[in-house]
Amino acid sequence: MNRKFHIIAIPIRIVVNRFGDHDPNGMMYVLKENRSFIKQQVDKNPFTPVDLVEPLVIRANVGDDIEIVFENQLHFNTSMHIQDVEYNVFTSDGAFVGRNPNTTVPPGKSIVYKWKAHVEGAHFFSDLGNTLSSELGSNVHGLFGALFVEPRGSTWTDPI
């Protein structure tokens, strides 16, 4: 089966507890259809955790082809690099390494990543456009998520 997702990297205030502790430089991957609602909820609740402000999880079944339209709304090149899933390193690696083409995305631009799910389990993705390990990096501010690959034929009815 073909699974298609439109995912956007956005800046967002991430509140981590009921005391209002937060990361004003938060970043996260969101489904395009949820972006406006999430931003609205964060604006309405600036010092309260918002349920949808969490790492993005998408789902597929073993054998599925996954197509990600990835859009960057951050101020630096960013990407989606996934672990333990098959893809073409020339088009869908989400990195700029060695002699491979640059598959990171400049601000305001988009790219299409294509993955193939062969192995059941949780497969993590993160940004390789900004790999700094300090506070200047993107992963420390929340830019990561997971693809859950379930047995062939699995279905799910609760999107949450």
For each of the chain's 160 residues, which pLDDT tens digit applies? 899 999 999 999 999 998 989 999 999 999 999 999 999 999 999 899 998 999 999 999 999 999 999 999 999 999 999 999 999 999 999 999 888 999 999 999 999 999 999 999 999 999 998 888 788 889 899 999 999 999 998 888 766 6
Tokens found for residue 57: 């999880």
The pLDDT, as a whole number, for residue 122 is 97
- Give the pLDDT score at 135: 85
User: CB–CB of 129/76 below 8 Å?
Assistant: yes
The DSSP-derived string for 61-90 is ETT-EEEEEEEE-SSS-B--EESSSEE-TT
Strand 144-150 and strand 14-15: the pairing is: unpaired
What pTM, to 2 d.p., does this model score? 0.93
pLDDT at 160: 60
Give percent helix, percent strand, percent coil of the chain, each to the nearest 5.
10, 35, 55
Residue 159: what pLDDT? Answer: 62
Residue 126 has a pLDDT of: 95
Non-local (6+) Cβ contacts of 40 within 8 A are none
